[in-house]
Amino acid sequence: MDYCSHSVREIREMLSEIGVPSIESLFSPIPAELRTKQLDLPEGLSEYESLHRITDLAGSTLTDRVCFLGGGAYDHIIPAAVGALANRAEFVTAYTPYQPESSQGTLQALFEYQTAMCALTGMEVTNASMYDGASALAESVLMAMRITDRKRVLVDEGVNPVYRRVIATYLVNHDCEIVEIPLRKDLADEAAILAGIDDRTACVVIQNPNFLGSILDIRKIAEKAHSVEALVVESIYPVSLGILESPAARGADISTGDGQSLGNPLSFGGPSFGFLAVKKTHIRQLPGRIVGETIDRDGKRAFVLTLQAREQHIKRHKATSNICSNQSLCALRALFHMSVIGREGFAELAQLNLDLAAYARKTLSAIKGVKTVNEAPVFNEFVLELPVETNMVVEKLAKKGYYAGIPLGKFYPGREKQLLVAVTEKRTKSEIDGFARLLEESLWR
Amino acid sequence: MALIHSDLDLIFHNPSDRKKGYRFPKSEVPSAEFPQSLSRKDKAQLPETSELDVVRHFTNLSHRNFSVDTHFYPLGSCTMKYNPKAAEDAASLPGFTELHPWTPFLPGGEEASQGALAVIHELGKTLAEAVGMDEVTCQPLAGAHGEMTGIMLVAAYHRTKGNRRKTVIVPDSSHGTNPASAAMAGYEIVTIPTAPYGDMDLDAFRAAMNDDVAAVMMTCPNTLGLFNPHIREIADIAHQYGALMYYDGANFNAILGKVRPGDVGFDVVHMNVHKTFGTPHGGGGPGAGPVGVKRSLVPFLPVPRVVKKSDGKYALETNRKDSIGSVANFFGNFGVLLRAYYYILANGREGLVRVSEMAVLNANYIMSRLKPYYDLPFDKTCMHECVFSASRQVKQGVHAIDIAKALIERGFHPPTVYFPMIVKEAVMIEPTETESKETLDEFIDAMIEIAKLAETDPASFAEMPSGMPVRRPDETRAAREIRVTCLG
Amino acid sequence: MSTFYSKDHEWVLVEGSAGIVGITSYAAHQLGDITFVELPKKGKIVKQFEALCSIESVKAASDIYCPLSGKVLETNAALDTEPQVINTDAQGEGWIAKLELANPSETSNLMDEAAYRSYLKTLE
């Protein structure tokens, strides 16, 4: 099924107007030897058959298991109004708001999104979103290097291992030095980081809560970094900001992270969005699109894309980044989510996550042989140490209907018996109790 | 469609004592403590209002947008084609939306995610066939992201061969993301001017080619909508010097099913599924930028890769020693890739070819009918888009931006203006294949009326567009007095 | 005291070994409403025709190339808050930097006022 509507008559009329005998003749500027034969692809299907194929594929995945997986993607409640609004064709099928008069909808919504992200992070400015948390973190590092004009980057091992891989991928062709500071137990090694900060340091990269779920008080690191004019880049889990003090107040200079947990479904890892928020002085080094407020010819408030001189379509190879688009619709979903649950709801959401995770941690670690690993405070994610390697346990529990957690041994050698467990407001007491029961069974029966 | 003209208040302007709207499930577990030293002193200043107010606010905001579903949207280089609703259904299937991305990494997890892995793998294979490449990665999250990934693959290729090449060649008509992406990968840029025939000056190109060039980035057809008849020769020259050919897929809609970049001499391509493969633009994203490569670049592809084993099952490969690493969290914008997969299943072999045929027909029809009224810098058969110059109208004081505003007033989204930069007062029109002749005729009539108005009443353009929520916002003020939030 | 001009529309007012640098009103007009000037750092040493700093308008960004070699002694702080001064008075209040010139004889590579005016005519 294709989506063209031309009738034979219309095609004939159009060809006649153009003055050529056939559609094929319009392709004559292409040398014949470059033309492909038929594509080796199947014939098109009807809409119904195409959907049926895809529905079959969807049906083969197993999503009815209780999900205790985290590691950067979280199974949160998405209020019904979020999807209803985000699916509006005027938002979905619009383009980048380059012509402000015909895109005040997207522009005002993105301005409100920027406001919401600054409200969460305590920062003064932010952009209209980046691709995802990993690439946003890599761009943050590049940004910090530009601002400080320095090449040395300290990265805490507690940062999501995939994010660290993305930073390395982004920076491999740049003249810089990435120093990874190993974890100390479940938390960043503050002493080692402090010792590593000097006047060659562009930035210190921390994740809070870290990949193991532990939260570091970054104030000391921020103080030392600022004393030598280095920056603190903190990758933050936005839902935690319902209870955790804002990154700006705790000393971060660049606040970044992944927005999937705000109103975006898991969707096998994408689409999502990244956010990047900073103090006003750094705004010209911010990559990505930025929406600004202004007034129009009649004195009415209007929104426009602004500071475009930073971007690739103007500065080309000297742009702050090559980024052209943002993840507009995903950012809007986050805005709708935060608007629907509201100021009170956002705080309540964080408390619920905290409570349920604490209960799970207590209940699961009460099982014989199971230990908690986090000594630092946690939010909704924590690590358990099992008496055996995690892989078999995870497989057993999956068959019994539970995605128990992420085995840490994949990324952290020596932690083969450790399991990363996340608990969101979607989990119930009885699910947690069931998890505990099954875990005990799989270990000891 | 009624446009709301009253000043829509920001969603943040609510009384602070509003009743809490949304209700979460009640907690059945004890309340937990959180260290005071880490706790927020004040709640984040988010909106607080009823669901009705939120829905009304954003629904009314949506009415202030032009969109493909409501307006003809001939933005050159953007391929604003119709986005099939069935693709939205595909992307909303709970079997996909609820699938956690860590699932296939768990022991036994590949079993539980076969359907999703299948989509990624099969889409990759289909795209590889469409562009004539050996393998495809679907990990890049946008077109520019794909460009960066592609050039990083080039860099890895040269590094492995011990080549310390430092430059990338781009034509001056290239999209800004080309040089910017090359710079992200650590390269310096050499820009080649456009010759009178409408594409890269061959003599200048030959003179610029040397052993220090890592890659040549081309868009084909180029940003003027013209197919470069010398493209094979350019590729041969580049390869003689050991450089790689990079294909920017932004304009692939013109040659889908007719020419495959891989057959023409390109080594690496990126595709924009939100352009060519009908996934919606979302107001600026999310899209996706899959990258296809020839065999020589396969070892460097990002991880994780989805592979099909001999038993027909899909699996993840994360241990590839020469891989450049990863450019995203997980597998890419899966929800977007799903929509592209639907699009390809439904169109199929014959539908995809019809895409380029109708796209090229539509663009040439517009070009032919508007030729008498607007200057055409390159008067030859175009492909899927045509580039006019408003230079004739400028003589009356009417610029490309004024023509854009006049079109908005008449209910059309304007074409791209002021790009490519090598054409003064450029107006780049890309109708796409999904527009009917009727719609094209309405647009053409409006453009003709505008051309005539530019002669008879040029002063009237300064007042346009009327009837919209705002009119000619002051962009200078926005850049000088920066306000990006309503806080403080 | 004389003013010299470069092909890229920068001017330099030379007095002995001191120079004041800016862009011409032609360049300012090309850029449109100037929104930001990234002033060079004091003490910056720059060779003739090397990038001195950059200027942004809403739709464009431009590198400014220094017409003569020298060291930046002072920059026009007013441009931080009022970059539009360059649009209104490019060759007066819109000056960008004061230099200690390294080699005043380099003016032989530049145009004088009359030559610049003729040059502008060729661009129309």
Residue by residue, DSSP assigns A223-284 as HHHHHTT-EEEEEE-GGGGGTBPPHHHHT-SEEEEE-TTTT---GGG-S--EEEEE-GGGGG
| Chain B residues whose beta carbon lies within 8 Å of the beta carbon of residue A338 | 46-47
* C101-113 mean pLDDT: 92
Testing the interface with C: which of B475, B477, B481, B482 to mutate, by most C Cβ within 10 A? B475
Q: How far is A268 from chain B (nearest CA, A)?
A: 4
- In this predicted model, what pLDDT tens digit does every residue of B208-262 receive, in sequence order? 999 999 999 999 999 888 999 999 999 999 999 999 999 999 999 999 999 999 9
Surface of C (77-116) touching A: CB under 8 A = none
Span of A16-25, B32-41, B474-483 with lowest mean pLDDT: B474-483
Taking the alpha carbons at both ends of chain B, their separation in whole angstroms is: 36
Q: What ipTM was reported for this prediction?
A: 0.96
Identify the pLDDT of residue B176. Answer: 81
Surface of A (78-107) touching B: CB under 8 A = 79, 81, 84-85, 87-97, 99-106
Yes or no, beta carbons of A308 and C35 under 8 Å apart: no
Identify the pLDDT of residue A308. Answer: 79
Scored b (16 or more CB within 10 A) or e, B366-404 reads bbbbbeebbbbebeebbbbbbbbbbbbbbebebbbbbbb
| Long-range residue pairs from B38-41, CB within 8 A, at least 24 positions apart, any chain | B38/A215, B38/A217, B38/A244, B38/A245, B38/A250, B38/A377, B39/A243, B39/A244, B39/A245, B40/A241, B40/A242, B40/A243, B40/A244, B40/A245, B40/A246, B40/A347, B41/A245, B41/A249
Q: Are B237 and B215 in contact (CB under 8 A)?
A: no
State yes or no: pLDDT of B2 exceeds 50. no
Yes or no, beta carbons of C36 and B418 under 8 Å apart: no
| Chain A residues whose beta carbon lies within 8 Å of the beta carbon of residue B292 | none
Q: How far is A325 from chain C (nearest CA, A)?
A: 17
Closest residue of chain C to B474, computed from CA coordinates: C58
Residue type present at position A91: F
Taking the alpha carbons at both ends of chain A, their separation in whole angstroms is: 56
| Chain C residues whose beta carbon lies within 8 Å of the beta carbon of residue A284 | 36, 38
Query: CB-CB: which of B102, B114, B324 is closest to A69?
Result: B102
- Domain span(s) for CATH 3.40.640.10 in chain A: 80-337
Identify the pLDDT of residue A381. Answer: 98
Yes or no, beta carbons of C56 and B476 under 8 Å apart: no
Domain A80-337 has CATH 3.30.565.10: no
Identify the pLDDT of residue B4. Answer: 44
Q: How far is B433 from chain C (nearest CA, A)?
A: 31
Unique residue bearing structure tokens 């495809």: B136
Yes or no, beta carbons of C35 and B479 under 8 Å apart: yes
Q: Which CATH number fits domain A66-77+348-444: 3.30.465.10, 3.90.1150.10, 1.10.490.10, 3.90.1170.50?
A: 3.90.1150.10
Q: Are A68 and A380 in contact (CB under 8 A)?
A: no
Which structural domain range is residue C33 located in?
2-121
CATH of the domain at C23: 2.40.50.100
Q: How far is B39 from chain A (nearest CA, A)?
A: 5
Structure tokens of B381?
């058969």
The Cα B381–Cα A371 span in angstroms is 72
Closest residue of chain C to A315, computed from CA coordinates: C61
What are the pLDDT tens digits along chain A (445 aa)?
889 999 999 999 999 999 999 999 999 999 999 999 889 999 999 999 999 999 999 999 888 899 999 999 999 999 999 999 999 999 999 999 999 999 999 999 999 999 999 999 999 999 999 999 999 999 999 999 999 999 999 999 999 999 999 999 999 988 999 999 999 999 999 999 999 999 999 999 999 999 999 999 999 999 999 999 999 999 999 999 999 999 999 999 999 999 999 999 999 998 999 999 999 999 988 988 899 999 999 999 999 999 877 776 666 666 667 666 779 999 999 999 999 999 999 999 999 999 999 999 999 999 999 999 999 999 999 999 999 999 999 999 999 999 999 999 989 999 999 999 999 999 999 999 999 999 999 999 8
Span of A334-348, B2-16, C39-53 with lowest mean pLDDT: B2-16
Yes or no, beta carbons of A54 and B90 under 8 Å apart: yes
Q: How far is B190 from chain C (nearest CA, A)?
A: 17
* B73-77 mean pLDDT: 94
Give the largest Cα separation in chain A, rounded.
84
Q: Find chains touching chain C: ≥3 CB pairs under 8 Å.
A: A, B
Query: CB-CB: which of A11, A292, A322 is closest to B484?
Result: A292
A185 touches C at CB < 8 Å: no
Structure tokens of A16?
């006649």
- Domain span(s) for CATH 3.90.1150.10 in chain A: 66-77+348-444
Instruction: Provide, rounded to the nearest whole percent, the portion of chain B with pLDDT above 90.
Output: 88
Q: What angle do CA B355, A88, A110 make, to 5 degrees?
A: 100
Cβ burial, residue B320 (10 Å; 0-12/13-18/19+)? middle
Identify the pLDDT of residue A314. Answer: 65
Number of other residues whose CB lies within 10 A of the CB of residue B33: 11
DSSP B407: H
Testing the interface with A: which of C35, C58, C63, C64 to mutate, by most A Cβ within 10 A? C58
> Distance of CA B386 to CAs B139, B158, B261, B375, B434, Å?
32, 37, 21, 11, 17
Yes or no, beta carbons of B479 and C59 under 8 Å apart: no
Instruction: Provide, rounded to the nearest whole percent, the portion of chain B with pLDDT above 70.
Output: 98
Query: CB-CB: which of C38, C60, C63 is closest to A314?
Result: C60
Q: How far is C64 from chain B (nearest CA, A)?
A: 19
Identify the pLDDT of residue A312. Answer: 65
- In this predicted model, what pLDDT tens digit does every residue of B314-360 receive, in sequence order? 999 999 999 999 999 999 999 999 999 999 999 999 999 999 999 99
Query: CB-CB: which of A26, A77, A341 is closest to B360?
Result: A26
Testing the interface with B: which of A206, A325, A340, A352 to mutate, by most B Cβ within 10 A? A325
Residue B26's SS3 state is coil
State yes or no: pLDDT of C58 exceeds 90. no
Instruction: Provide, rounded to the nearest whole percent, the portion of chain A with pLDDT above 90.
Output: 91
- Number of helices (H) and strands (E), helices first, in chain B? 15, 12
- In this predicted model, what pLDDT tens digit does every residue of B381-431 receive, in sequence order? 999 999 999 999 999 999 999 999 999 999 999 999 998 888 999 999 999
Half-sphere exposure of C112 (CA within 13 A, CB side): 4
| Chain A residues whose beta carbon lies within 8 Å of the beta carbon of residue B80 | 95
Yes or no, beta carbons of C59 and B476 under 8 Å apart: no
Domain count, chain C: 1
Per-residue confidence at B5, pLDDT binned at 50, 70, 90?
very low
Surface of A (313-372) touching C: CB under 8 A = 314-315, 318
Identify the pLDDT of residue A316. Answer: 67
